[in-house]
Amino acid sequence: MEISDGDIILIADKVIAMSEGRLERYDRLEVSKRAKELAKKYGLEGGFVELVLREAEEILGGIEGTLLTISRGILIANSGVDRKNVPQGYASLWPRDPYAKADELRERIERRTGKRVGLVLVDSRVLPLRRGTVGVAVGFSGIEPVEDVRGKPDIYGKPLKITFVNKVDDLASLAHLLMGETDELVPFIIVRNAPVKLSGEPKLDVKMKPEECLYMRELLRKDRDLGES
C-alpha cells in the first residue's frame, strides 16, 4: 500500500519502545522500600513496581494486580509499563519522548514519500467504570488532536457549550481494535480520509490539568474531604 497525502499512520508504541531498547528485566532490579510496600499491598512483583515508580509522575492507588498512575500527563495503569508480548521477566516501557519520536518518524516518512502525513503512537488503557481496553495516543505529530465544537449548532440549532472532540484518541482506539492485544502481530495501520486536520502546530493540546478534569477534580475533592473528616 502506497502512502498518500493526508494519510494518518498509527504505530504500536511497543514497537518503538523496543527499537529504543526500552525493554527491562524487572526481576533483577534493586527494589526500593516504597516499591516493596506497594507490591505487597497490590499483589505485584517488587521489581515490576520499581519500574512503575520510575516511570510514574504520581501513584494514585490501585487494585489487585494493577497500580493507577499518571505518567506523561496520562491517567494510565502501571505508568504504561507492560508485560504483554515480551519475554518472561521483562517489561516494555513507553518511548523515552513519544512526541519527539512521533515528529522524527513523521518527518522521515514525509521525506521518503514526498507526502504529507500524520503519525500517532498507540497504547491501550481502561476507562472509568468500563470493562476492557481501548486505545490511547501516547504521542502524535502532524495532526490537530482536538476539535473545539463549542458554539456549533446541534441538529436542533442549539449551540454546544462545553464539547470538544478528541480525535487523536478516537484514531488510537480504531487502531487498537485492529492491532489487538494478544498475538495478532499488527504493528501499524494506515487510516485514509479521516475527518482530521493535518497541522504542524496543533492549536489545542489533548492533555488537561487534573483540576480541569471531570473525573480527577471530583476524586481530588473527595480525597481532601476525607482527609478533613
Taking only the tens place, the pLDDT of each residue in 36-76 is 999 999 999 999 999 999 999 999 999 999 999 999 999 99
Taking only the tens place, the pLDDT of each residue in 96-119 is 999 999 999 999 999 999 999 999
Q: Is the separation of the CB atoms in 170 and 118 below 8 Å?
A: no
Domain check: are 185 and 117 in the same one? Answer: yes
Total domains in the fold of the chain: 2
| Residue that is last in its domain, among 74, 93, 112 | 93
The owner of cell 480525597 is 223
Taking only the tens place, the pLDDT of each residue in 119-142 is 999 999 999 999 999 999 999 999
Nearest to 72 by CA among 30, 35, 125: 125
| Residue that is last in its domain, among 93, 120, 137 | 93
Domain check: are 220 and 120 in the same one? Answer: yes
| Residue that is last in its domain, among 56, 71, 93 | 93
pLDDT-derived band at 228 (thresholds 50, 70, 90) equals low
Domain check: are 82 and 3 in the same one? Answer: no
Domain check: are 142 and 110 in the same one? Answer: yes
Domain check: are 76 and 144 in the same one? Answer: no
Q: What is the mean pLDDT of residues 146-166?
A: 97
Domain check: are 73 and 122 in the same one? Answer: no
Domain check: are 151 and 170 in the same one? Answer: yes
Question: Is 80 exceeded by the pLDDT of residue 3?
Answer: yes
Q: What is the mean pLDDT of residues 195-213?
A: 88
Q: Percent of the chain, pLDDT > 70?
A: 97
Question: Is 90 exceeded by the pLDDT of residue 225?
Answer: no
Domain check: are 136 and 229 in the same one? Answer: yes
The confidence score (pLDDT) of residue 76 equals: 96
CATH of the domain at 29: 3.90.1660.10
Domain check: are 84 and 109 in the same one? Answer: no
Question: Is 70 exceeded by the pLDDT of residue 223?
Answer: no
Least trusted range by pLDDT, from 3-12, 48-57, 117-126, 200-209: 200-209
The confidence score (pLDDT) of residue 200 equals: 81
The confidence score (pLDDT) of residue 56 equals: 97
Domain check: are 58 and 110 in the same one? Answer: no
Domain check: are 148 and 115 in the same one? Answer: yes
For residue 47, the enclosing domain spans: 23-93
